[in-house]
């Protein structure tokens, strides 16, 4: 059965995803970047992630040529950054939203992001309109767990809430706002999604 483009997109909008901004530096030192939800962990050994970027974007050309990119996992406070990096604003001007610095590679990372990953491109696979870039993680930084990630589903931005309520966290990697109690966590934590 042939699946049409719109049905595919309607189905994929049901997939709630963390919102990221992928950045790179083009020839001549010009910064560029785009908002992306197609980001996925691949392997912890060696630490590797992947991003899917439309090969028609300026950022894709820069990432492929420079062989580096940075992934910024946005927080709920970064919605304006997400909008800006998904707009038609000129690449360098997008960086006037938010506070930007660098880690190891010198690629732009957002100070307010939940976590940032500095990556070297280790493989590229082209599929249809998109390039899948595998990034070996050279460096990473993350903020305190109380900072909430920005989500996207059904075409709108949102935030996590624990389906079974939120009490104080009891484990280092579980933020207080999502941890019911350690006994429940052994059974598996269920998640909710709330519109912003
Ligand atoms: C929530 C959201 C998620 C997106 N995810 C992706 C993605 O994973 N990959 C992609 O190539 N574009 C994605 N886009 C679209 C790009 O952000 C958008 O086309 C951007 O303007 C491209 O930058 P350009 O001006 O350099 O072409 C997404 C947009 C939004 C709003």
pLDDT of 174 higher than 90? no
What's phi and psi for 73, nearest 5 deg?
-85, 115
Is 196 exposed, middle or buried (CB count within 10 Å of its CB: 0-12, 13-18, 19+)? exposed
Of 68, 42, 76, 69, which is closest to residue 161 (Cα–Cα)?
76
Distance of alpha carbon 126 from the chain centroid: 20
Of 17, 58, 2, 13, which is closest to residue 154 (Cα–Cα)?
13
Percent share of the chain, pLDDT over 70: 84
Strand order in the sheet with 47-54: 31-36, 20-25, 68-73, 115-127, 130-142, 47-54, 39-44
Report pLDDT digits (tens) over 126-138: 999 999 999 999 9
- Ligand 1-lining residues (CB < 6 angstroms): 19, 34-38, 52-54, 57-59, 86, 152
Predicted local confidence at residue 1, as pLDDT: 80
Predicted local confidence at residue 163, as pLDDT: 82
193: CB partners within 8 A, 6+ apart: 16, 151, 153, 158, 159, 160, 161
Rounded to an integer, the average pLDDT of 67-84 is: 97
Of 57, 83, 80, 78, which is closest to residue 69 (Cα–Cα)?
57
Q: Whose CA is nearest to atom 14 of ligand 1?
A: 36
Predicted local confidence at residue 192, as pLDDT: 42
Predicted local confidence at residue 45, as pLDDT: 97
pLDDT of 177 higher than 70? no
More confident residue, 49 or 181: 49
Q: Whose CA is nearest to atom 13 of ligand 1?
A: 36
Q: Separation of 186 CA from ligand 1 center, angstroms?
A: 36
Q: Separation of 71 CA from ligand 1 center, angstroms?
A: 13
Percent share of the chain, pLDDT over 90: 74
Report pLDDT digits (tens) over 10-67: 999 999 999 999 999 998 999 999 999 999 999 999 999 999 999 999 899 999 998 9
Predicted local confidence at residue 142, as pLDDT: 92
pLDDT of 3 higher than 80? yes
Q: Separation of 86 CA from ligand 1 center, angstroms?
A: 5
Ligand 1 atom showing the smallest separation from residue 51 Cα? 8
- Quick one: pLDDT band at residue 166, thresholds 50, 70, 90? low
Q: Whose CA is nearest to atom 10 of ligand 1?
A: 53
Rounded to an integer, the average pLDDT of 107-136 is: 96
What's phi and psi for 106, nearest 5 deg?
90, 5
**DSSP H or E segment with residue 191:** strand 191-195
What is the chain's mean pLDDT, rounded? 87
Structure pTM? 0.88
Report pLDDT digits (tens) over 25-38: 998 999 999 999 99
Q: Separation of 164 CA from ligand 1 center, angstroms?
A: 33
Rounded to an integer, the average pLDDT of 152-166 is: 86
């Amino acid at each position: 059965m042939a699946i049409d483009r719109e049905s595919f997109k309607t189905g994929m909008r049901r997939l709630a995803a963390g919102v990221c901004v992928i950045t790179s530096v083009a020839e001549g030192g010009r910064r560029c970047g785009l908002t992306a939800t197609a980001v996925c962990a691949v392997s912890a050994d060696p630490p590797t992630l992947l991003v899917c970027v439309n090969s028609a974007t300026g950022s894709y050309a820069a990432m492929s040529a420079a062989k580096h990119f940075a992934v910024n996992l946005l927080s709920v406070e970064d919605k304006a950054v997400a909008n800006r990096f998904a707009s038609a604003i000129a690449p360098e001007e997008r960086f006037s939203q938010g506070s930007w610095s660098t880690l190891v590679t010198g690629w732009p990372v957002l100070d307010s992001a939940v976590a940032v990953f500095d990556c070297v491109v280790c493989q590229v696979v082209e599929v249809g309109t998109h390039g899948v870039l595998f990034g070996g993680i050279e460096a990473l930084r993350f903020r305190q767990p109380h900072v909430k990630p920005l989500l996207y589903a059904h075409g709108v931005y949102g935030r996590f809430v624990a389906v079974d309520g939120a009490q104080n966290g009891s484990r280092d990697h579980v933020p207080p706002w999502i941890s019911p109690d350690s006994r429940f966590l052994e059974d598996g934590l269920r998640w909710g999604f709330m519109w912003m």
